[in-house]
Chains A and B, each alone.
Chain A
């Protein structure tokens, strides 16, 4: 089932949680709502579910307005951040709940319920825990049970609120790969909320980057990472180096570097900010161009196969450069050494925002 969100606005008291949000989620896609806390992503998810009502705008499922459909009848599977498992019920009873509360004429028989629940528990790999209460399970196990419970009602849409937020790093990585496989298997339209950019980039088909109640960018993980539409997306997705400079009639000068800025052809000596990811900068022991920035190595951090260098430019600005371990040894760099940084792939935003 496809989800269409049309100019949704939501305020809580004086706080605007969502401003005129419009978004399309095609059938079968796995979409991540990514943003810092307070950006409105959970509110948007709850509005899709029908747990919250928008002040204006509407949600459509398969092109039909859901305004008059209550949360009970929307057929959405909702997985809560803290699982919300019924603590007085066993794992089996939790998963069976959605089947047992159906109106009598649609309620499956006892045997059917048992078979369905066991099939679901097998799917999420916790069948052996059927008789335990949630309090006896680990976080990862609870998450799986919560998912099985949501899937029991055969939802047309699966909504997950920070599904891995409360788990430790190792379990989180394992579970998110598993969720991706599960999604491909079930092919149910899914939306999940996260503040973890790595999670969003790894798991989803498309990422919706949100900030302060608005959508900053929608795109595939590659698109949002490689071609951030706004400075916010740039800084939120991964580390970034920021360079301040000026732009004048389509030419920008960042320190001694001059670059073409065709997007800013009309700019008249305006301030501009340029962004570059740590791995996009190159370092060398000797300058390769006259425009190279001179900097000193403040710290060397080893992160698996790559090395992160913390630098300080001659002007005292911090810089971060990431390079492969092999390149690092080849250059023979060490702390305190003076290096030269070549600026490439700079992306320019005038006045902090693209024009």
Chain B
């Protein structure tokens, strides 16, 4: 969000009040209250975020590194990794293309039904993933709407790899669009108009002007989309049919191992997904700053000595 005029004013170095390093006495609570509140917050964080994280890795390595490595190099596990990567790649690529196109249309043009389209796009967020999976069974399953036609042409979507790809793409659809729409709306279309007036073609304008303007937001959306695509369970579980190893993704593989009481192996595979989550978290933090950083107004640049003489 752009800083308000008032914020800009106070941010100028010469007008900035000297900031106190400690809050004044009058504004603080007694030590007992302070420490109690801090303790509650820390306990809560530890219980709900840190302990589970540690538990995953502890469980995974409980029976030694040998079991851990064996669980991960198991052919079924490798197959699950491959399918998960394929599903994530499909979801990211299709939602990237769809997301940019849809965000472009919504942010830069006015048309009838725009609000309905925006609402529809966020539908996968508001529907339970299990329902999403069932919708695809209804559509493409043997007794579904397109079922007879599909089987007549020898095509299989449900209880096969295409079903996994479709379901994953569906549940991750809103991530990239919803990241881009506010960004593109805020940027307006003056840059594009300027490029066109300078003689650039539409495609060149997109590549040289629009894309660089949205690249960080786009990357942020891709990271979120990818994380969700790899971790998706509900919708995929419904359309998978659990055909080993053909339609088993990593989360499904974890579930199978767990149900078979192979706890160490289950947690070993789970630790892969957890690692992915941690990598996503770091990547997200790195990108987020750049994606959301407002353009520095000239006064700021000036104040930081960045403005040339």
User: How far, in angstroms, from A223 to B102 measured CA to CA in the complex?
Assistant: 52
* A340, CB-defined interface residue at 8 Å: no
Interface stretch of the complex, out of B19-27, B80-88, B205-213: B205-213
* B114, CB-defined interface residue at 8 Å: no
* A78, CB-defined interface residue at 8 Å: yes
The answer on a CB contact under 8 Å between B302 and A138 is yes
* A170, CB-defined interface residue at 8 Å: no
Give 1 or 0 for each of A58-95: 1 = CB within 8 Å of chain B CB. Answer: 00000000000011111011101010111110000000
Give 1 or 0 for each of B188-202: 1 = CB within 8 Å of chain A CB. Answer: 001101111111110
The answer on a CB contact under 8 Å between A136 and B301 is yes
The answer on a CB contact under 8 Å between B200 and A72 is yes
The answer on a CB contact under 8 Å between B197 and A78 is yes
Smallest CB–CB gap between B201 and chain A, Å?
7
* B262, CB-defined interface residue at 8 Å: no
* B295, CB-defined interface residue at 8 Å: yes
Smallest CB–CB gap between A148 and chain B, Å?
12
The answer on a CB contact under 8 Å between A135 and B296 is yes
* A124, CB-defined interface residue at 8 Å: no
Provide the residues of chain B in CB contact with A84, threshold 8 Å.
190-191, 193-194
The answer on a CB contact under 8 Å between B194 and A88 is no
- Find the B residue at minimum CB distance from A51: B193
Residue of A71, A87, A88, A152 near B196 (CB, 8 A) is A71
User: How far, in angstroms, from A82 to B196 measured CA to CA in the complex?
Assistant: 16
> How many B residues are at the interface, by size bracket?
20 to 34
Within 246-265 of A, Cβ neighbours of B (below 8 Å) are at none
Provide the residues of chain A in CB contact with B198, threshold 8 Å.
97-98, 101, 149-150, 152-153
The answer on a CB contact under 8 Å between A80 and B298 is no
> How many A residues are at the interface, by size bracket?
20 to 34
Smallest CB–CB gap between A270 and chain B, Å?
47
The answer on a CB contact under 8 Å between A72 and B190 is no
User: How far, in angstroms, from A129 to B307 measured CA to CA in the complex?
Assistant: 9
Give 1 or 0 for each of B292-309: 1 = CB within 8 Å of chain A CB. Answer: 000110100110001110
Provide the residues of chain B in CB contact with A70, threshold 8 Å.
196
* A318, CB-defined interface residue at 8 Å: no
* B204, CB-defined interface residue at 8 Å: yes
The answer on a CB contact under 8 Å between A86 and B197 is no
* A302, CB-defined interface residue at 8 Å: no
Provide the residues of chain A in CB contact with B213, threshold 8 Å.
87-88
Residue of A51, A77, A135, A153 near B301 (CB, 8 A) is A135
Provide the residues of chain B in CB contact with A138, threshold 8 Å.
298, 302, 307
Provide the residues of chain B in CB contact with A49, threshold 8 Å.
197
The answer on a CB contact under 8 Å between B193 and A87 is no
Smallest CB–CB gap between A291 and chain B, Å?
51
Residue of A86, A132, A136 near B191 (CB, 8 A) is A86
Residue of B190, B200, B306 near A97 (CB, 8 A) is B200
Most buried by A among B196, B199, B298, B306: B199
The answer on a CB contact under 8 Å between A80 and B199 is no
- Find the A residue at minimum CB distance from B196: A71
The answer on a CB contact under 8 Å between B308 and A71 is no
The answer on a CB contact under 8 Å between A135 and B295 is yes
The answer on a CB contact under 8 Å between B200 and A101 is yes
A137-B307 in contact given A49-B197, A87-B295 (Cβ < 8 Å): yes
Provide the residues of chain B in CB contact with A97, threshold 8 Å.
195, 198, 200, 208
Provide the residues of chain A in CB contact with B212, threshold 8 Å.
86, 88
Give 1 or 0 for each of A123-146: 1 = CB within 8 Å of chain B CB. Answer: 000001100100111110010000
Provide the residues of chain B in CB contact with A88, threshold 8 Å.
212-213
- Find the A residue at minimum CB distance from B193: A51
The answer on a CB contact under 8 Å between B301 and A86 is no
Smallest CB–CB gap between B206 and chain A, Å?
12
Most buried by A among B197, B201, B301: B197
Provide the residues of chain B in CB contact with A102, threshold 8 Å.
199
Give 1 or 0 for each of A267-288: 1 = CB within 8 Å of chain B CB. Answer: 0000000000000000000000
Within 176-197 of B, Cβ neighbours of A (below 8 Å) are at 190-191, 193-197
Residue of A77, A86, A153 near B209 (CB, 8 A) is A86
Smallest CB–CB gap between B111 and chain A, Å?
13
Provide the residues of chain A in CB contact with B195, threshold 8 Å.
86, 97, 101
User: How far, in angstroms, from A76 to B199 measured CA to CA in the complex?
Assistant: 9
Smallest CB–CB gap between B212 and chain A, Å?
4
Smallest CB–CB gap between B285 and chain A, Å?
22
Smallest CB–CB gap between B77 and chain A, Å?
43
Provide the residues of chain A in CB contact with B196, threshold 8 Å.
51, 70-72
If A102-B199, A137-B307, A153-B199 are given as contacts, then 7 extra A-B residue pairs at C-beta distance below 8 Å, sorted by A number, are A72-B201, A80-B194, A86-B208, A101-B198, A129-B308, A137-B298, A149-B198
**CB-defined A-B contacts under 8 Å, sample of 8:** A71-B197, A72-B196, A78-B193, A84-B190, A87-B295, A137-B301, A137-B308, A150-B198
